[in-house]
Amino acid sequence: MKKSKIYTIYIYFFGALGGLLFGYDTGVISGALLFITKEFNLTPTLEGLVVSSVMFGAILGSIISGPVSDRIGRKKLIFILGLIFTLSTIGSSWPPNISVMIISRLILGIAVGGASGMVPMYLAELSPANNRGAITAINSIMNTSGMLLAYIINYSLSHTGNWHLMLGFALIPSVLLSLGMIFMPESPKWLAQKKNITKAKNVLRLTHKDERAVEHEIFVMESLAKKEEKGEFLDIFKSWCRPIIFIGFMIAILQQLVGTNAILYYAPTILSQSGLGDSAAITSTVGIGTVNVIMTIVGVLLVDKIGRKKMLLTGSVGMGISLSIIGVAEFFPGNIGLIMILAMCLFMVSFSSTWGMITWVVLAEIFPLKIRGSAMGICTLGLWTTNAFISLLFPVFVEKLGTGTIFIIFAIVCGFSFYFVKTKLPETKGKTLEEIELDMRFGKSKIS
């Protein structure tokens, strides 16, 4: 029993490290960009490349991580991702020129994209059934905690302008992740698929409370392996699949199109241009990051009580109002920094508790088992691609159209997201995955 508790804590800790790295590496650039831009005299296009290179790498990482993990195992892949995190962090933190930085961040993105899906899946496959939902939620919380840590590091170093250390701090958790994975067990599900039932049982004994729970888990794995219907990629184009794929794909890209990454990645730049100094702009992101973490926790606590659909609709309204305030404020002269900070906090309250986490819940629920892997791959690809292009083009569009116009456009997208969820997305609260699959497959899902 003691051994089980020790290993459970150990597993959660290193799972959290993977989520922490994902959040830190995507959030730290927001503050570092101010000083990188000055040192290298970046154009808006190069600014966008520095930020978005991670996202373009993540597209590749999200595509290849699944097949690679099926071949070599979850544990080995996460260990390799830790090594990629470490080497690419060195390259992006102390580059001889901007080209090396962009290439290093592109490689870093491969690790980010791989970790975004692989770490929670690995933890879920290790954990008892009654704890899997909570573990997935912990990973989401750690993602936002990683972003908050990035904002705090940025703030603590803002008076020095040392962007090298801002980016380089990620070396600590990345090295720990690789070292920790050496002593982690392999996924029991992967071992069972490879017919290593004895090893799978031994791994389950590390995290399960009693032998009956272990035997039950093994029985379920073997039963699913025998009964699971083999799906093919072309199945996603069948008439009954297309509407489900469309809903999932739209939810995935709308999460990015509502403007969240413009705030997460460019908040200090926007606030600095609104009348705040560089240090004050970076300081304000600590508050925004804190709100992000707290409201993610609130969303985790409410999603099974209120329901996915109602929370997404509420989030769309809150985000639309906050983005409209930011957009309108930009058209008025004067120091509008305080208004921008409050509006960004309102946005994070609305986004983090709804679209930020519920998108992943919905995508995990609505797809039938037969096409789940392929469907998730398509939606994840759409999400990261949208993320990358917004990150790349935001500085360019701001230069051409102005910050106010861009945020008004984001607000209009929020209005569309409200309409789409209201008319297209069925509520899945309280239903088993099998019930959801039958409803979606045979057209019985209720839009309510």
Question: 12 is written with which tokens?
Answer: 């959660």
pLDDT at 317: 96
pLDDT at 377: 74
Whether residue 391 contacts residue 271, with contact meaning beta carbons closer than 8 Å, is answered with: no
Q: What is the mean pLDDT of residues 72-84?
A: 91
Q: Which residue has the higher pLDDT, 81 or 215?
A: 81
CATH 1.20.1250.20, domain 1-184, yes or no: yes
Q: 232-448 in CATH: which number? A: 1.20.1250.20
pLDDT at 226: 60
- The 3-class SS string of the chain reads CHHHHHHHHHHHHHHHHHHHHHHHHHHCHHHHHHHHHHHHCCCHHHHHHHHHHHHHHHHHHHHHHHHHHHHHCHHHHHHHHHHHHHHHHHHHHCCCCHHHHHHHHHHHHHHHHHHHHHHHHHHHHHCCHHHHHHHHHHHHHHHHHHHHHHHHHHHHHCCCCCHHHHHHCCHHHHHHHHHHHHCCCCCHHHHHHCCCHHHHHHHHHHHCCCHHHHHHHHHHHHHHHHHCCCCCHHHHHCCCCHHHHHHHHHHHHHHHHCCHHHHHHHHHHHHHHCCCCHHHHHHHHHHHHHHHHHHHHHHHHHHHHHCHHHHHHHHHHHHHHHHHHHHHHCCCCCCCHHHHHHHHHHHHHHHHCCHHHHHHHHHHHHCCHHHHHHHHHHHHHHHHHHHHHHHHHHHHHHHHHCHHHHHHHHHHHHHHHHHHHHHHCCCCCCCCHHHHHHHHHCCCCCCC
pLDDT of 227 > 60? The answer is no
Convert the pLDDT of each residue in 379-410 to its tens digit. 888 888 898 888 788 888 888 888 889 889 99
Convert the pLDDT of each residue in 314-340 to its tens digit. 999 999 999 999 888 878 766 676 788
Cα distance between residue 54 and residue 41, in whole Å? 20
pLDDT at 220: 67
pLDDT at 400: 87
Angle at alpha carbon of residue 71, lines to 70 and 74, rounded to 5°: 55
Q: 172 falls in which pLDDT band (50, 70, 90)?
A: very high
Question: 194 is written with which tokens?
Answer: 């490879």
Q: Which residue has the higher pLDDT, 224 or 28?
A: 28
Q: Which residue has the higher pLDDT, 143 or 207?
A: 143
Same fold, 1-184 and 232-448: yes
Choose the weakest-confidence range: 244-248, 265-269, 305-309.
265-269
Cα distance between residue 278 and residue 86, in whole Å? 28
pLDDT at 224: 55
pLDDT of 313 > 90? The answer is yes
pLDDT at 1: 42
pLDDT at 35: 92
Buried b (16+ CB within 10 A) or exposed e, 244-267: bbebbbbbbbbbbbbbbbbbbbbb
Cα distance between residue 426 and residue 439, in whole Å? 10
Q: 128 falls in which pLDDT band (50, 70, 90)?
A: confident
Residues contacting residue 143 through CB under 8 Å, at least 6 positions apart: 19, 20, 22, 23, 296
pLDDT of 191 > 50? The answer is yes
Highest mean pLDDT (candidates 67-81, 94-108, 238-252): 94-108
Q: Which residue has the higher pLDDT, 391 or 239?
A: 391
Where do the structural domains in the chain lie, given as residue ranges?
1-184, 232-448
pLDDT at 255: 93
Q: Which residue has the higher pLDDT, 239 or 289?
A: 289
Cα distance between residue 397 and residue 156, in whole Å? 31
Q: 448 falls in which pLDDT band (50, 70, 90)?
A: very low
Q: 413 falls in which pLDDT band (50, 70, 90)?
A: very high
Cα distance between residue 192 and residue 188, in whole Å? 6
Cα distance between residue 249 and residue 412, in whole Å? 19
Mean pLDDT estimate for the chain: 82
Q: Which residue has the higher pLDDT, 119 or 76?
A: 76
pLDDT of 349 > 50? The answer is yes
pLDDT at 200: 86
Cα distance between residue 36 and residue 47, in whole Å? 9
Question: 165 is written with which tokens?
Answer: 């250390």
Given the structure tokens 């590091």, which residue do they identify? 153
Whether residue 357 contacts residue 228, with contact meaning beta carbons closer than 8 Å, is answered with: no
Q: What is the mean pLDDT of residues 189-198?
A: 80
Choose the weakest-confidence range: 185-194, 312-321, 345-354.
185-194
Cα distance between residue 300 and residue 16, in whole Å? 16
Residues contacting residue 232 through CB under 8 Å, at least 6 positions apart: none
pLDDT of 13 > 90? The answer is no
Choose the weakest-confidence range: 60-64, 249-253, 277-281, 340-344.
277-281
Look at residues 44, 37, 42, 27 and name the one whose alpha carbon lies nearest to residue 395.
Answer: 44
Q: Which residue has the higher pLDDT, 286 or 12?
A: 286
Choose the weakest-confidence range: 79-93, 152-166, 359-373, 387-401.
359-373
